[in-house]
Each structure stands twice: as C-alpha cells, then as structure tokens.
Chain A
C-alpha cells in the first residue's frame, strides 16, 4: 500500500512515519510531501492509496488539498493529522470527504485504532 504523509514540519513527518511503524503498519511504501501544493502535484503523477495530511501548511492547506482532489475527481482515502481541530474544521473536513481526524499528539495505539480499517 502506498501512504503519503503531507506536513510542512520535517520533524512531524518523521514522527508520523515512525508512529506508523510502531503501530504495526510495516512494509508499506511511504512517501512524503512538505505542503499541499507539492502533494497535489505528486498525487496527480502517482496517486497513493491513503493520505495523512496536516491542516495548516504554507502554499496550500490540507483542506485545500482535499478540495482540489475532489475537483479533479481524484478519489483516495484521506485523513487529517493536526494540532488544531475546532468544530468548524471538523465540519469542513467531513463535508470535503475526509475519513478521519487525528489530533496531535497522537499515540501508536490511536494510529492502530483509526488506521487499521484503512491499511490492509
């Protein structure tokens, strides 16, 4: 399975990657992008099966990325991993088609619980 991690923080991308491993999701093809715009270009070139995206990022936010994918008709599993999760954000994420929202700081256990059904 191909998993894309989108976050402008390289430390956070590293942590998400390691947490995936600690949650038992090993042997997957994990790719990274440092903002929404770069992720969109990479997804158009070769779509992953699952996107784990931060919300606040320069150039293009996580929500704008999800909305752009919708406009382009690109269907994939998409969830947010973010520090901020206001009711308004949850509402916008849901209506844009996000499958889940994981608040930071997360644990390997929460990754296991929420990503299990999405990662084979």
Chain B
C-alpha cells in the first residue's frame, strides 16, 4: 500500500522555481501526470525540476533547449517586434534591424540562465517550434520569426535537433527538459486569429522602449 506521501501528487510548492521565474504559472496537471509550467508570449522559463513546459504558439516561436548531460532545460516564447523592419533576412546585411537585435536578446536570456546553472554550450540541444503563417496577410510574421531562430542558431553554431516550423497552423507545445521530448499538437485554423491576437498584445515591447545606457 502506498504511503500518504507517495500517493500525493507533486505540487509546484515542492519544487520551487528559480527566483526570477516566480511569476510563471505552474500547476499539477492530471492529464499530463506532471507539474506543468505555462508560458505566455514574451516569457521564458528554466528549470531543474521534473516538470513539463507548455505554451500555445501562433506566429511566435519557442526554442526548447536543454543540457543533455545535466537534464536541465528551458524554453522561451517570443516574436520579433512588428516594426516592419527587415528581420531575419537582414541579419547578415549591413542594414541590421532592430527586430534582429531584439530576437537575439530573447535567446540570450534563456541561454545565459542555463549557463548560470552549470550547463555547457557544447551540451546544449535545441528544438524549435512555431512560426506559423496564421493570418492571411501579405507579411509572413511567422515565417520571419522561424527564419530568425534558424539563422540565430546557425550563427551561434548550435545544431537544431528537431524543428516544427512554419506552415499555416497554430500549435500547442509540451516540452520535457529532462528527456528533451517535444510534443506538438497542430490546432484547427479556426483558432489562428485568437492565438495571433493574444501574442500580438502581450508580446515583447518594441525595441526602442527597451534597453538603456548608464554612465558611471
């Protein structure tokens, strides 16, 4: 017979997040039989605990990354600012767009937090998801995000272990940082507009609003 302790589902309170992620919504999920951390657009999360990371992606992308030796990993959910600049296509050109600089920072936050936990660059495994062309408009916002994340990882010398990018779908994503397993459910296109609107409203601020300089 199981003891009371063994029967009890692990609660997020038993697995406190790193201090910088106290705002991330986490709860026990019966269907997943796991604690699940739910990421909103613009958020990222890194964990050492046995838990799943979840998000819903429209035109945004998520990079799922873990140290294959330590089993520590994380995920982000970001989009390049909708400022109409060149984005990923201008990465290698002199016309360096604000959007590209911004996407770079979204990736750097995630990677830096993993490095602080002792992860090694050489052991990082990347899987990338999202970037759907979820709206019928000329500008392919999702394609731009997908191209950015591919180009970023290529420049950094990180191979992509798996990718589910582009196409016309929004996606539900579960990531298990311990095993590296990614599960993607492609959503019915009727959900596309709602997902896109949520991403657009709560996504990262425009680049000119962020960043600062300080003279000592």
Contacts and interface: CB of A to CB of B under 8 A. Distances in A.
Given A9-B156, A19-B96, A56-B116, A85 B104 contact: no
Interface of B: 94, 96, 98, 100-102, 104-105, 107-109, 111-112, 115-116, 120-121, 152, 155-157, 207-208, 210-216
Interface SS of B by simple majority: helix
B213 A102 contact: yes
Q: Which 5 A-B pairs have the closest CB atoms?
A: A11-B155, A105-B101, A114-B213, A94-B216, A18-B96
B46 to A, nearest CB: 13
A101 B108 CA distance: 17
Interface string A74-89: 0000000001110000
A105 B116 contact: no
Contacts of B98: 105, 107
A110 B101 CA distance: 13
A19 B94 CA distance: 9
Contacts of A58: 115, 120-121
A15 B102 CA distance: 11
Contacts of A94: 216
Nearest to B207: A105
Interface residues of A, number: 32
A22 B108 CA distance: 22
Interface in A1-51: 8-12, 14-15, 18-19, 21-22
Given A8-B121, A21-B94, A58-B115, A106 B216 contact: no
B207 A101 contact: no
A44 B211 CA distance: 32
- Among A8, A58, A105, the most chain B Cβ lie within 10 Å of the Cβ of A105
Contact of B112 (A10, A11, A56, A100): A56
B92 to A, nearest CB: 8
B112 A83 contact: yes
Given A15-B96, A99-B216, A105-B211, 17 more contacts: A9-B111, A10-B155, A15-B104, A19-B101, A58-B115, A58-B120, A84-B112, A85-B212, A90-B216, A100-B213, A100-B214, A101-B214, A103-B212, A104-B104, A105-B98, A106-B101, A110-B213
